[in-house]
């Protein structure tokens, strides 16, 4: 039997597709908070918006480690993850968080009170913070893209999607906070709204490209995409990832501008869509069948 008609077989010994079950909702939640925090920090830093910078640091520094620890079987050994930065994106990611949070706090203190470190040192701290934030936003995607046995993940678009969602959700949270708390000029709010809209379009293009690449890759990728757009996960994928996460914010911002109602609807929609994407991209990940390399010519 070729893998053309291989079924989903669960944990049985039959030939077919098996779901990965090592990463699920706790890991998806950790990824969500890490990327959200780094994106919020960078967007807020660009606009000198201290409240958003602080919230971003809390999201990455508290939310992400907490849900990582809930996923781990032996949390006391989590420190070992830093020992292999030469060969593991997980190690690089943990180190980047350990750098991002304290250096980000220095940037916040500098923005709020100024400090005597001098212009050169201040720029150096900011550079290190931005570099660490970029790693925080993308390392999960790089780690997933190395999973050659799961075609849906095994693409260079995975870290690109991570960065796009991090910046998109960061712009959403920053715009929401600024609309509620104040602190940004009207011109900055309009610019932030335009950035938000642009990132929505970019994220949509990346999602469609990721699905296209997976569907036209291996049979496992085709099975994953089928699960997302036609079968088991199609309702939440279409309704939450695309509907709430892309279409609803586009409509709200296009017609509502920077009004509070429009911003609230858009921000909540993006966060729902981003979290749903993180969960569903794990749940739809299937391993290739053991006999999965039969020629595709004539099997479609």
Strands 18-19 and 286-287: antiparallel
Question: Which residues, in sequence order, are CB contacts of 99 under 8 Å at separation 6+?
Answer: 128, 129, 132
Nearest to 37 by CA among 124, 101, 112, 128: 101
Which of 297, 285, 295 minimizes the C-alpha distance to 8?
A: 285
The pLDDT value recorded for residue 92 is 79
pLDDT of residue 20: 74
Cα 43 from Cα 195, distance rounded (Å): 10
Q: What is the pLDDT of residue 293?
A: 46
pLDDT at 1: 39
Domains defined along the chain, listed by start: 20-287 (1.20.1630.10)
Whether the CB-CB separation of 41 and 169 falls below 8 Å is answered with no
pLDDT, position 292:
47
Other C-beta atoms lying within 10 Å of the C-beta of residue 259: 13
pLDDT in tens, the chain (300 residues): 344 455 555 555 455 667 677 777 888 898 999 999 999 999 999 999 999 999 999 999 998 877 766 655 555 555 565 556 656 667 777 888 989 999 999 999 988 887 656 677 888 999 999 999 999 999 888 888 887 788 888 888 999 999 999 999 999 999 999 999 988 999 999 999 999 999 999 999 999 999 999 998 888 888 899 999 998 899 999 999 999 999 999 999 999 988 999 999 999 999 999 999 999 999 988 887 755 444 444 444
pLDDT in the model for residue 121: 84
Under 8 Å CB-to-CB from 300, ≥6 apart: which residues? none
> What is the model's pLDDT at position 291?
53
Model pLDDT, residue 119 = 75
- Beta strands (DSSP E) in 10-156 are 18-19
In this prediction the pTM is 0.86
Give the rounded distance of the alpha carbon of 299 from its chain centre: 35
- pLDDT digits over 57-111, tens only? 999 999 887 776 665 555 555 556 555 665 666 777 788 898 999 999 999 998 8
């Amino acid at each position: 039997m070729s893998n053309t008609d291989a079924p989903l077989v669960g944990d049985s010994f039959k030939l077919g597709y098996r779901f990965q079950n090592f990463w699920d909702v706790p890991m998806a939640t950790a990824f969500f908070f890490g990327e959200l925090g780094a994106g919020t920090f960078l967007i807020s830093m660009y606009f000198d918006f201290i409240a958003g910078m602080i919230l971003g640091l809390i999201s990455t520094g508290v939310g992400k480690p907490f849900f990582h620890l809930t996923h781990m079987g032996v949390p006391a050994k989590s420190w070992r993850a830093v020992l292999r930065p030469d060969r593991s994106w997980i190690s690089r990611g943990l180190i980047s968080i350990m750098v991002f949070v304290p250096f980000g706090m220095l940037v916040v203190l500098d923005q709020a009170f100024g400090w005597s470190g001098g212009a050169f040192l201040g720029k150096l701290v900011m550079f290190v913070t931005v570099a660490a934030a970029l790693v925080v936003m993308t390392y999960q995607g790089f780690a997933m893209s190395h999973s050659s046995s799961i075609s849906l993940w095994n693409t260079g678009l995975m870290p690109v999607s991570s960065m796009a969602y991090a910046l998109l959700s960061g712009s959403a949270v920053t715009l929401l906070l600024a609309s509620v708390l104040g602190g940004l000029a009207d011109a900055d709010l309009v610019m932030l709204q335009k950035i938000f809209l642009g990132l929505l379009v970019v994220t949509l293009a990346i999602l469609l490209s990721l699905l296209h690449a997976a569907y036209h890759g291996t049979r496992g990728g085709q099975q994953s995409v089928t699960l997302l757009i036609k079968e088991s996960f199609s309702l939440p994928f279409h309704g939450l990832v695309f509907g709430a996460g892309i279409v609803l914010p586009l409509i709200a911002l296009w017609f509502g501008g920077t009004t509070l109602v429009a911003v609230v609807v858009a921000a909540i929609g993006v966060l729902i869509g981003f979290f749903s994407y993180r969960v569903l991209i794990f749940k739809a990940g299937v391993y290739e069948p053991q006999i999965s390399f039969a020629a595709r010519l004539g099997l479609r």
